[in-house]
């Protein structure tokens, strides 16, 4: 239930990227020759960090997950739908609609109407192999605003003094928004799931990338540098939702040469109140280190060619019975600059991230995010979180 980038990043349509997207006479997305090699290399290097490979290895330590395969034709249908919906390029055809409908029916029968899966009580989190559609449009456009107002009211009661300063108020609003954005991704039926996928720019560009690579695999584009190609393996991924997981307790952990080197608060936009307590922070650090050493390292160490360097997101859930934290793996990402470093910096913190320092360092946000007032005002305006109910739906 975690993603590669911060949950509040604005993923608005990038016109520069769009200009690189071309279509041929068969309405197939085409890409400039210069981009193919970069994409092939990226896929080759990062394929082990799609959900499918690492889930098989550490499934006992993460959310229950099911997979619905999507073929290149279905991926192309998703791309054509997005192009038709959000640009002037009308690519969607009857065959595409039939393919999308077949996926809708499969989601309904296999996941949401099934009596045998584990998703009935908690709901689900939907993603594709490489990324989630967290930038997708929620079917009920009121959902984020409702979650936001509820959480903000709770925080005002808990921390009344924080709301009195300009930065304190903005930070509280940011916490409430991050909570709302996170929980609005919970999906309970196939229509909600497809609406997120088909409206996500992140998914759109990821699918273009894998389709480009498949064109090389099918010898439609020359593989002039003889880059290793992987077989097509893309899925809609349905993960069990856990209502107890909170975005304030997600941590990005860095592993270099099979050594845990650094831990960061994942959502670095927020100054979380409980993380200002050093005792709690140190307890979190000790818990994560122990969990990684006892549960994760033994599973991944036997595969050094794939998992000696990686970034792993771990969620902590308070266990009311033991007064300790239970850990769960949210996702894995490559140890590369393309993966967000949260409160670390790939350049200036290189020694720490690569284990050249003596201690494992944990970082939490102890200051207000720069220009947080202006930032949160923009976010709340875009998402219509103004305290008023918006009755429209997408």
Per DSSP, the residues of 77-98 read: HHHHHHHHHHSS-----HHHHH
CA angle 176, 182, 377 (to 5 degrees): 40
Q: Which pLDDT band holds residue 215 (cuts at 50, 70, 90)? A: confident
Instruction: Kindly report the CATH number assigned to the domain that includes residue 302.
Output: 3.30.470
Residue of 121, 22, 129, 34 lying closest to 75 (CA atoms): 129
Domain final residue, candidates 197, 222, 240: 240
- The number of folded domains in the chain is 3
Mean pLDDT, rounded, for 123-143: 92
pLDDT in tens, 83-118: 999 987 888 999 999 999 999 999 999 999 887 777
Supply the pLDDT for residue 117.
74
Position 86 in a domain: yes
In a shared domain, residues 63 and 114: yes
What does the alpha-carbon distance between residue 161 and residue 152 come to, in Å, rounded to a whole number?
14
Mean pLDDT, rounded, for 306-322: 95
Burial of 10 (0-12, 13-18, 19+ CB in 10 A): exposed
Position 10 in a domain: no
Supply the pLDDT for residue 10.
40
In a shared domain, residues 118 and 148: no
What does the alpha-carbon distance between residue 216 and residue 223 come to, in Å, rounded to a whole number?
6
Mean pLDDT, rounded, for 26-54: 68
Residue of 78, 41, 275 lying closest to 171 (CA atoms): 275
Burial of 333 (0-12, 13-18, 19+ CB in 10 A): buried
Q: Is 197 left (phi over 0), alpha (psi -120 to 50) or beta?
A: alpha
Supply the pLDDT for residue 26.
47
Q: Which residues contact 214 (CB under 8 A, 6 or more apart)?
A: 72, 232
Position 349 in a domain: yes
Position 3 in a domain: no
Mean pLDDT, rounded, for 236-256: 97
Count of residues for the chain? Answer: 394
Partnered with residue 313 across adjacent β-strands are 252, 331
Position 392 in a domain: no
Mean pLDDT, rounded, for 27-34: 47
Mean pLDDT, rounded, for 344-349: 98
In a shared domain, residues 202 and 171: no
What does the alpha-carbon distance between residue 112 and residue 190 come to, in Å, rounded to a whole number?
7
Q: Is 339 left (phi over 0), alpha (psi -120 to 50) or beta?
A: beta
Alpha helices in 184-266 (DSSP H): 190-198, 201-217
In a shared domain, residues 224 and 127: yes
In a shared domain, residues 88 and 233: yes
What's the chain's average pLDDT? 87
Q: Which of 43-52, 229-238, 283-292, 329-338 has the lowest mean pLDDT?
A: 43-52
Position 212 in a domain: yes
What does the alpha-carbon distance between residue 360 and residue 323 come to, in Å, rounded to a whole number?
24
Q: Which pLDDT band holds residue 37 (cuts at 50, 70, 90)? A: low
Query: What's the domain range around 113?
Result: 15-137+187-240
In a shared domain, residues 173 and 127: no
Position 8 in a domain: no
Supply the pLDDT for residue 8.
52
pLDDT in tens, 283-308: 999 999 999 999 999 999 999 999 99
What does the alpha-carbon distance between residue 246 and residue 255 come to, in Å, rounded to a whole number?
23
In a shared domain, residues 154 and 293: no
Q: Which pLDDT band holds residue 42 (cuts at 50, 70, 90)? A: low
In a shared domain, residues 191 and 289: no
What does the alpha-carbon distance between residue 66 and residue 106 come to, in Å, rounded to a whole number?
12
Domain final residue, candidates 240, 261, 278: 240
Q: Which of 4-13, 204-213, 354-363 has the lowest mean pLDDT?
A: 4-13
In a shared domain, residues 324 and 358: yes
Supply the pLDDT for residue 227.
63
In a shared domain, residues 223 and 192: yes
In a shared domain, residues 77 and 224: yes
Decide if 71 contacts 211 (C-beta within 8 A).
Answer: no
């Amino acid at each position: 239930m975690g993603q590669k980038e911060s949950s509040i990043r604005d993923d608005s349509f990038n016109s520069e990227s769009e200009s690189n997207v071309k279509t041929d006479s068969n309405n197939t997305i085409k890409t400039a020759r210069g981009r193919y090699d970069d994409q092939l290399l990226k896929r080759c290097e990062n394929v082990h960090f799609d959900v499918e490979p690492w889930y098989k290895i550490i499934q006992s330590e993460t959310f229950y997950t099911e997979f619905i395969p999507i073929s290149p034709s279905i991926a192309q249908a998703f791309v054509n739908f997005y192009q038709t919906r959000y640009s002037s390029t009308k690519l969607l055809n009857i065959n595409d609609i039939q393919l999308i409908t077949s996926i809708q029916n499969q989601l309904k029968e296999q996941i949401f109407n099934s009596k045998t899966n584990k998703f009935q009580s908690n709901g689900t989190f939907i993603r594709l192999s490489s990324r989630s559609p967290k930038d997708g449009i929620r079917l009920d456009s009121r959902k984020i605003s409702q979650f936001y107002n509820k959480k903000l009211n709770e925080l005002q009661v808990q921390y009344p003094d924080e709301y009195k300063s300009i930065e304190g108020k903005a930070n509280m609003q940011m916490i409430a928004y991050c909570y709302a954005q996170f929980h609005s991704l919970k999906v309970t039926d196939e229509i909600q799931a497809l609406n997120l996928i088909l409206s996500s720019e992140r998914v759109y560009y990821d699918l273009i990338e894998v389709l480009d690579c498949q064109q090389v695999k099918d010898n439609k584009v020359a593989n002039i540098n003889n880059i290793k190609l992987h077989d097509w393996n893309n899925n809609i991924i349905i993960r069990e939702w856990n209502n107890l997981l909170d975005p304030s307790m997600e941590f990005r952990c860095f592993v270099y040469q099979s050594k845990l080197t650094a831990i960061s608060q994942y959502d670095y936009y927020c100054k979380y109140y409980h993380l200002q307590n050093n005792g709690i922070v140190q307890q979190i650090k000790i818990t994560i280190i122990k969990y990684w050493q006892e549960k994760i390292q033994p599973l991944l160490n036997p595969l050094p060619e794939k998992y000696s360097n990686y970034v792993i997101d771990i969620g902590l859930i308070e266990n009311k019975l033991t007064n300790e934290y239970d850990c769960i793996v949210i996702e894995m990402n490559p140890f590369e600059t393309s993966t967000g470093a949260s409160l670390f910096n790939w350049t200036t913190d290189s020694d720490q991230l690569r284990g050249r320092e003596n201690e494992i360092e944990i970082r939490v946000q102890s200051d207000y995010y720069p220009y947080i007032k202006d930032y949160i005002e923009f976010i709340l305006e875009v998402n219509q979180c103004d305290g008023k109910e918006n009755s429209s739906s997408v």
